[in-house]
Structure 1
């Protein structure tokens, strides 16, 4: 019970602690700078321009800015058919800490005060608290924040009820509490923005099967009794996004809060070498088995000997220590399943926390495991049940003081058990909590691995939100993705690129549902993991024989991709070395196709007359090909090809 004091901990909140690879926020002139991105502020305190410096390969930074906006962002209020004209006070951003700069601008018109408070944090989050105050009674025809984006910065869309795809010509979206939708991501390969629209009453909704139990509190300012919405219109050289609230009346002194939170993507560079050298085994097996399988990281789920009870990894600590120490001696990293959303009934402090009413645990209809019904009786929400270890859980809150306990617990585990990171099974807590998690882990461990798994949230229970859209605010602080159950791997390449791969955000990942698709996955550098009945070793062997960690990944989305095909449904990504190239071909065709490869020999850098498919157990046989003749690609599958220097 001594750990109850953890509920009031503030560990991990040092504002001057910045995790790698990020750098402090810098300000010069009217430019704010973070890793790979800059924001030029206008006189009202809003962005005049947002620039990306990531190269198209996402592996380096360039000197020339790559613009995102085609016009400055404005805050428009229309009264009597006329836009309000604003006079703005001078301002200069203040350095609050290494991780955050803020500014405040007072804008005035004849009818309103517009108070804009902005802040930028080190990973690329741009947070605006905007207050509109009426000086007199007034009828307003519209309040709108238009965002003009260059076309190549808005190639793809996520959100507003759209699965990952190319941005449609027109979108007309309205607020609906049944849908967990409050904003959108629009982006290209190496530049984009996500934003969400909120007000002062925002409360984080529940997610992962429970959204409808605690949905969005719709922002009165933006939603405006059904008058507000978002429209998107694609033009020749730009995409116009109108965030509008429609007509309303305000009395003198009335205040409306039009808060906007932006994320500028991508967040960080891809490290393909590290990605391909890191191999996950997602099951509790002996350390020597992990090594024999080729794994370098083992995820210890719950419901096993050394992590028996869900989200409370403080049982069998001696065996847990022995396992982790053995793994470290043999150069294997160990990560635990430990998150917030559900909590085992074996928790020592369960009755003490129940005494706090509904601060820690969610209210509910009870039921479930017999122990819960006997001892808790009612007013709890029954959740996970693991029969193998007689474990049962109830829902707890990711916005309560339990987050303090959770972060202190991770601090203890990193310091005493030397865990190397976390396996997060969806995230039910805030961005601030994730920042605290990574801060304390990096204080104790030289390298931290945090992977995020998510089941596809685009369903009625979860309010039709894209998992990537939902969790994007956490992406800067995690290492890789594992998306996930119910993802639609049969969908097209744009869906894979935006919803599954993580690439437009500076992340890479693995596949889960049904073991994934080996050929489509490798277009994005993705394999499955060693888990359940799925065996990824044949693909790992192919990668090791080729030496993929020392290659350059040249994705099909690049203008200078060295290999293309003559069929729109057969896509190629290449992995290029000085004397060899691995080509991943993936098919979305319903029939076998004969395709020709268009080789850019200048990009390849060597000449060759030998092209063959290496043997990959359970996938493909060895076969030689003539570079001048078509190659047959099996329907809805693909081929791995090797091109070798003469």
Structure 2
């Protein structure tokens, strides 16, 4: 099976598994057995005819990588393993390597390693690099060789073959470069603004600034021949080699292909580099330019029908530039054989999945599972649990009711202020679109100074988007343009965002888009700070409310989507940011708490359009499902995804399969091991467990079969950068990439030494389309039950698409979302727009649980105010305080020095029946139980005839507290109850209490006490 996978993988990566099929300057091969990785991925096998003090090597190595002269050289005797002590470099550049080496004590075979590197085991970011250059040769030997050199007395080493350590490492054939002289000679014989080289999908064009040696060896450039099957999505390339002038706009024309009376129409042929469909489902045409002397492949796809008649289809593709210079290429595609049922998708070498780049799957406004159709009555729009009333003259909310709780103290206002005062701009809202999942409207008003238009939408998940356009009729001095959201203070006890952690709403607060120096968030995260340390925190969104109702507001820009993560830092929206003049204010006065986003003064030129985009999300987005929280227990073990019987006995129901293990080795590309994943899923479905998969977008492994096609799209999918990282990336990508996750693969998965990823792009990247189509494929072909998302950066539209795509295939799929607060700078704020589409959060990496206030726990970690629940992570969390929110760690989350096995608490859950209990948190307006000390909180889990009390001391001092119990809420008679703290391993020893007792509570600790009828 492994050999089959190797053949599939490396065929699609551009290698020939059946021997050398391309003319080359040397014999190229793959080592029968991979040598020590530290020696590097490449070597020349040398033959020395006789012993000598010095041997000369002339190696026409034709290298594509950079800084070849700075690498370490090693020459080793193949039989003895001895290292040749002296190497004198005569010429070392990308084209040639000329050396003297010696002394050589015997004739025979020698290995020349020219890219050895430091192997870095484990994971993270690769930072070790290549070994430094070898030591200078011995002076006496050098003196002797200098004398011999003048007499021309050196024997020559011959090159038996050039080897790569594995197929995956090979430069052959598409990275064996033509020399400058060969290129010049070929150009003189073949003049033109550019040349076109047809190329099979088996040999993806890899190099951007070098021409393959293969291309200049008599290849027929006028004809491409291919073989396909009915229903196949057939891919091939046309490689463009620019002349000495930049090509500013490459395009193509075709009238299709014909075989007798049968046709493959032009519409069935697409060039992915030029034509596409963006993640919103809108077609686009892309401008392709090529620098002088550079290479640009054009990847084409041919969409063959299921009943495509057999035959040889012929036609022409004409490639032209902006001057009209054109190069025709004849195309012959032989169609034969049986219908290819899967379009070719199960055979990765076919590149048929490139069509996924233009997929529109999942784009729909239909409500996803768990949500209801929207309704419109007069000026009121309703969705699940929430109703928004609109002022039909301003288009803004006058009332926001969330699950029966009114949030607004007065209408929301969008204010434009000039020296003449506030503009009074009233218009009429026109309904422009209405469906079961989306309501749209437009609004327009004007005066002598300006025109103001607005397009607004509200969707089934409670998300509302306003896009205002301000267009002055004359030059206009603006004092401020701002958004005011006035909320009832009783409805807004908590706040988060604008640089603040989850906390009680401050009486007054102001800030800009960035704050330098020590931040108020520091106490909640494990990022050390000092007066000399400066951190930047995004200020694009905030949330204000309670666990009953709240409003999340995100300030957006015309091209902005998704969370502001440290890997993805889109430009701040110019309208709100206004070169740093924009900012935020919170004012809490009496029964009114007003959040204001202002943009500051500016001058607008006549006719200049300025867009203010903001989105509101009404929370909670759904009802908390505590039954699922206490029964759907997670097994999450990155390196060992297979649970044991002890895990099953503990009640685990959901298995998260992370990446970087034998089952899912390559980050964000699980397709290569899909068969193994399917077998795993089938096995655990048989044991009553669901299986979810780590599969996201943020970074992408180097083992992706289509990686070279993706590189050909410029920075659309793979973000540019300064390069570096793992040697494989330096040797093959060479330039224009940003290295990311690195995982050394101990067992050399599929012949690959490491999973070395690069950063992907955001925004209009068609990788989003591929990702959604791939998700549906995974659900259908492997049977997975959903996704584990780890700090991703796409917008809410993607979450909605993903939900739709999964539900088309398999209703009931689940998503949990993980984030590191040091990474996303406040995940609950940054990811709020995701919450309608996720089932559980796992916020807690880098959180310092013992330093967090109850408000911070509730708002920023628990998920409860948003209709979700969560688990703990960093350092095992705090098992006593976590129970206040129904949280434990995941199994088997064990941290050195910290006992955090949740199975003992889970056993108590089962014995008590917590999954059937009503959770009454200490944060409720009328909690069931309070204590005599405000720093000691109680959450009650009320069951019929018994209640489980979670008592937590958030202070740093030991407390003794008396419980104040609302017996009516518990449904118990205080005169006939037993209060027992059962023994729970690593949590508490057994103890009895009475309602009148003072209960001792250690700092940052607590109790689980069952109050039951006698």
Task: Give TM-score, length-normalised by structure 2.
Answer: 0.60
Greater Cα offset, 550-559 or 394-403: 394-403
* Counterpart contact for 1:564–1:571, Cα < 8 Å: yes
Aligned to 1:15: 365
Superimposed CA distance per residue, residues 369-416 of structure 1 (whole angstroms, 9 cap, x where no aligned partner): 221111111211111111235322111124310111111111011111
Question: Does the Cα contact within 8 Å between 2:451 and 2:472 map onto a contact in 1?
Answer: yes
Instruction: Determine if the alignment matches structure 1 residue 360 to structure 2 residue 721.
Output: no
Q: Secondary structure at the match of 2:417?
A: strand
Tell me if 1:41 matches 2:390: yes
Alpha-carbon displacement from aligned partner over 1:426-469 (angstroms, at most 9, x marks no partner): 112121111111111122223212100101137xxx5xx31111
3-state secondary structure, aligned to 1:378: coil
* CA displacement, residues 195-214 of structure 1 (integer Å, 9 cap, x when unaligned): 1223324365762x424xxx
Contact 2:399 2:410 in 1 (8 A): no
The Cα shift of 1:49 comes to 2.6
Q: Among 444, 458, 466, which residue is 1:128 paired with?
A: 466
Classify 1:53/1:210 alpha carbon distance in 2 versus 1 (closer, same or farther; 3 Å): closer
Instruction: Decide which structure has the larger Cα Rg and report it.
Output: 2
**Contact 2:394 2:426 (8 Å CA) reproduced:** no
Choose from 165, 190, 195 the match for 2:553: 195
Cα distance in 2, alignment partners of residues 261 and 49 from structure 1: 16
**For the Cα contact (< 8 Å) 1:25–1:120, is it kept in 2?**
no
1:522 and 2:883 equivalent?
Answer: yes
Larger deviation, residues 602-611 vs 413-422: 602-611
Over 3 Å counting, the alpha-carbon distance change for 1:186 and 1:610 in structure 2 is same
Give me the whole-angstrom Cα distance separating, in 2, the residues matched to 1:472 and 1:321: 32
Q: Distance in 2 between matches of 1:204 and 1:550?
A: 37
- How many Å separate the matches in 2 of 1:74 and 1:164? 25
CA contact (8 A) 2:432 2:442 kept: no
1:39–1:47: 8 Å Cα contact kept in structure 2? no
Q: Is 2:730 aligned against 1:392?
A: no
2: CA distance between counterparts of 1:547 and 1:82? 62
* Contact 1:52-1:190 within 8 A present in 2 as well: no
Distance 1:85 1:540, change over 3 A: same
Deviation (angstroms), 1:303 = 1.7
Report SS of the residue matched to 2:805.
helix
Once the two structures are superposed, what CA deviation does each residue of 1:203-249 show, in whole Å capped at 9, x if it has no partner?
Answer: 65762x424xxx24232322233332211111011012222222222
Give 5+ residue unaligned stretches, structure 1. 55-64
Picking from 593, 605, 609, the partner of 1:239 is 593
Q: Is the 8 A contact 1:9 1:405 kept in 2?
A: yes
Structure 1: distance between partners of 2:955 and 2:599: 44
SS in 2 for 1:141: strand
**In angstroms, what is the RMSD of aligned CA positions?**
1.8
Separation of aligned partners in 2, 1:204 and 1:362: 16
Measure the CA separation in 2 of the matches of 1:14 and 1:201. Answer: 21
| Corresponding residue SS for 1:88 | coil
- Counterpart of 1:183 in structure 2 is 541
Deviation, 1:144, is 2.4
C-alpha distance in 2 between matches for 1:457 and 1:127: 28
User: What does 1:94-493 align with in structure 2 at a 5 Å threshold?
Assistant: 94-176=432-514, 178-202=536-560, 207=565, 209-211=566-568, 215-283=569-637, 284-286=641-643, 288=645, 290-389=647-746, 390-399=754-763, 400-457=765-822, 465-490=825-850, 491-493=852-854
Q: Distance in 1 between matches of 2:688 and 2:561?
A: 43
The structure whose RCO (Cα within 8 Å, separation 6+) is larger is 1
* Structure 1 length-normalised TM: 0.93
Q: Do the aligned partners of residues 206 and 69 (structure 1) sit closer, same or farther apart at CA in structure 2, a change above 3 Å counting?
A: closer
Asked if the contact 2:402/2:620 (under 8 Å) is kept, the reply is no
**Could you say what secondary structure the match of 1:254 adopts?**
coil
Give 1:621's match in structure 2, choosing from 989, 994, 999: 989
* 143-152 or 288-297, which deviates more: 288-297
C-alpha separation in 1, matches of 2:912 and 2:701? 45
Tell me the secondary structure at the aligned position of residue 652 of structure 2. coil
CA contact (8 A) 2:876 2:893 kept: no
Q: Does 1:29 align with 2:367?
A: no
Q: Deviations over 1:488-546 (max 9, x none)?
A: 21211000011100011000010001111111111111111103424210010010000
Is it true that 1:580 corresponds to 2:946 in the alignment?
Answer: yes
The CA deviation at 1:77 is: 2.1
Q: Which of 594-603 and 38-47 deviates more?
A: 38-47
Which range moves more in the overlay, 513-522 or 45-54?
45-54
CA contact (8 A) 2:379 2:392 kept: no
Question: Structure 1 CA distance, aligned partners of 2:650 and 2:970?
Answer: 33
Measured after TM superposition, the shift of residue 485 of structure 1 is: 1.1
Matched pairs, number? 625
Structure 1 stretch displaced more, 237-246 or 550-559 = 237-246
Partner secondary structure for residue 508 of structure 1: coil
Matches of 2:725 and 2:864, distance apart in 1 = 41
CA contact (8 A) 1:518 1:527 kept: yes
Secondary structure, counterpart of 1:529 in structure 2: coil
Partners of 2:956 and 2:604 in 1: how far apart? 58
1:61 aligns with none
Rate the CA distance shift 1:598–1:76 in 2: closer, same or farther, 3 A. Answer: same
